[in-house]
């Protein structure tokens, strides 16, 4: 058996020396170290040998295998270098051809829309205020007039991070950007508790909801919260601000309307629609033949929320809203599946 292994190694190395191209090298590999090669047959026959012969023959077979594989690697490098040299010597190279253009990165469409929204709000006098994504139940719900077991909580399925042992105040991923209202009001109120300064801020950020992912719903999405607090703030201020925003975003001739709605942290509450910019209000598939597209929810800040934020509701009033940049993009560009935004498909992302 040892003589056979020596003969296998000698023959294989001799035939390898005459291999000149990749095709012949592939054939050599199959014939000498492939599953059906004589060397592999030796391994298959080890079980038939005695206990004394088996380790000796096995070690010799492994040595031959390593030697052949090493020779194969070396020969492959030689053939590759020869092929490259031949290509450089014989192939024509037109140095006047233009080079390949660099593939540039770009901002994600959600980021582009988010920046556009914040640019408009900055021009309107709003300051950007960022808030954390991990919240307590107290900040995310209770101080926003969502008491425990309130039925309105069913509107926002929640990712709980830590609930055990925390009673009615578990830690969670925020379901909306509205908790930022409490953080902002308390921060501003701390500047002068007797007479807190007015607030005019925009709160952008990612929100998370434990929902089934469909063409219309995702477990993560961006929101932009707006908050204005001061003396003598009225519903007319809310309407005027949002109508001005809509005109800056969608054009000066856009029509808007407000519909009564319900949110625990605002009273009264409303939803704002703009005239469908796809069909001009005539009715189409995008607006479901209604001629209108909902872009945000809004309302006057509830007195309970003002008080929880450190502002006296008998002296101060305010308004707030929440809008989704992805929803605005879906409406503007007739995008029929929200999953495209986080699917990382370059064919989609490169269109923006």
82 shares a domain with 122 = no
- Confidence band for 131, pLDDT divided at 50, 70 and 90: very high
Check if the beta carbon of residue 338 is closer than 8 Å to that of residue 217. Answer: yes
18 shares a domain with 67 = yes
- Confidence band for 166, pLDDT divided at 50, 70 and 90: confident
Look-up: residue for tokens 């005539």? 282
Cβ-based burial of 79 (10 A; exposed 0-12, middle 13-18, buried ≥19) = middle
Check if the beta carbon of residue 33 is closer than 8 Å to that of residue 89. Answer: no
How many domains does the chain contain in total? Answer: 2
Residue 66 has pLDDT above 70, yes or no: yes
Check if the beta carbon of residue 298 is closer than 8 Å to that of residue 320. Answer: yes
- Confidence band for 176, pLDDT divided at 50, 70 and 90: very high
Is residue 96 a part of any domain in this protein?
Answer: no
| CATH assignment at residue 178 | 3.30.930.10
Q: What is the DSSP letter of 301?
A: E
Name the token pair of 326. 């992805």
56 shares a domain with 113 = no
Check if the beta carbon of residue 73 is closer than 8 Å to that of residue 81. Answer: no
Among 62, 90, 118, the domain-final residue is: 90
Residue 220 has pLDDT above 70, yes or no: yes
Is residue 118 a part of any domain in this protein?
Answer: yes
48 shares a domain with 125 = no
Whole-prediction pTM: 0.68
CA distances (Å), origin 8, targets 18, 56, 69, 250, 351? 16, 17, 13, 79, 60
Q: Which domain, by its residues, includes 26?
A: 2-90
Mean pLDDT score, 255-275: 93
CB contact set of 350 (below 8 Å; sequence gap of 6+): 106
- Confidence band for 271, pLDDT divided at 50, 70 and 90: very high
147 shares a domain with 14 = no
pLDDT of residue 283: 81
- Any idea of the CA torsion for 253, 257, 262, 268, to the nearest 10 degrees? 100
324 shares a domain with 221 = yes
Q: Bridge-partner residues for 222, per DSSP? A: 206
Is residue 23 a part of any domain in this protein?
Answer: yes
Mean pLDDT score, 8-32: 88
70 shares a domain with 8 = yes
Is residue 131 a part of any domain in this protein?
Answer: yes
- Confidence band for 49, pLDDT divided at 50, 70 and 90: confident
213 shares a domain with 64 = no
Mean confidence (pLDDT) of the chain: 89
260 shares a domain with 204 = yes
53 shares a domain with 121 = no
Residue 318 has pLDDT above 90, yes or no: yes
Is residue 313 a part of any domain in this protein?
Answer: yes
Report residue 124 CA to chain centroid gap. 29
> DSSP string of 114-167?
HHHHHHHHHHTTPEE----SEEEHHHHTGGGT--TT-GGGGGS---EEE-TT-T
Is residue 37 a part of any domain in this protein?
Answer: yes
Is residue 274 a part of any domain in this protein?
Answer: yes
- Confidence band for 286, pLDDT divided at 50, 70 and 90: low
34 shares a domain with 139 = no
Mean pLDDT score, 170-197: 94
116 shares a domain with 42 = no
Is residue 97 a part of any domain in this protein?
Answer: no
pLDDT of residue 184: 96
Mean pLDDT score, 291-298: 89
Mean pLDDT score, 334-348: 86
């Amino acid at each position: 058996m040892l003589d056979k292994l020596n003969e296998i190694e000698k023959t294989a190395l001799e035939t390898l020396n005459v291999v000149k191209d990749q095709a012949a090298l592939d054939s050599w590999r199959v014939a000498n170290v492939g599953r059906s090669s004589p060397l592999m047959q030796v391994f298959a026959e080890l079980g038939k040998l005695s206990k004394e012969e088996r380790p000796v023959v096995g070690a010799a077979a492994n040595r031959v295998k390593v030697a052949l594989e090493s020779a194969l690697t070396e020969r492959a490098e030689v053939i590759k270098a020869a092929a490259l040299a031949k290509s450089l010597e014989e192939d024509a190279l037109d140095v006047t051809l233009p080079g390949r253009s660099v593939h540039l990165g770009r901002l994600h469409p959600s980021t582009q829309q988010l920046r556009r929204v914040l640019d408009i709000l900055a021009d309107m006098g709003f300051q950007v205020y960022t808030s954390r994504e991990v919240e307590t139940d107290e900040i995310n719900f209770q101080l926003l007039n969502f008491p425990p077991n309130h039925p309105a909580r069913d509107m926002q399925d929640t990712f709980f991070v830590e609930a055990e042992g925390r009673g009615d105040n578990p830690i969670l991923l925020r379901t909306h950007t509205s908790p930022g209202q409490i953080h902002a009001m308390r921060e501003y109120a701390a500047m002068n508790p007797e007479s807190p300064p007015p607030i005019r801020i925009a709160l952008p950020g990612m929100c998370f909801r434990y929902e089934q992912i469909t063409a219309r719903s995702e477990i993560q999405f961006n929101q932009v919260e707006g908050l204005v607090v001061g003396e003598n703030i009225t519903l007319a201020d809310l309407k005027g601000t949002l109508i001005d925003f809509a005109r800056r975003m969608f054009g000066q001739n856009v029509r808007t309307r407000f519909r009564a709605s319900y949110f625990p942290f605002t009273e009264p509450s409303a939803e704002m629609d703009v005239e469908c910019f796809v069909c001009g209000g005539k009715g189409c598939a995008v607006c479901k033949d209604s001629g209108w597209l909902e872009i945000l929810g809004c309302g006057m800040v509830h007195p309970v929320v003002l008080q929880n934020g450190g502002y006296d509701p008998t002296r101060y009033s305010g308004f707030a809203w929440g809008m989704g940049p992805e929803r605005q993009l879906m409406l503007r560009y007739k995008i029929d599946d929200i999953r495209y935004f986080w699917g990382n498909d370059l064919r989609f992302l490169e269109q923006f």
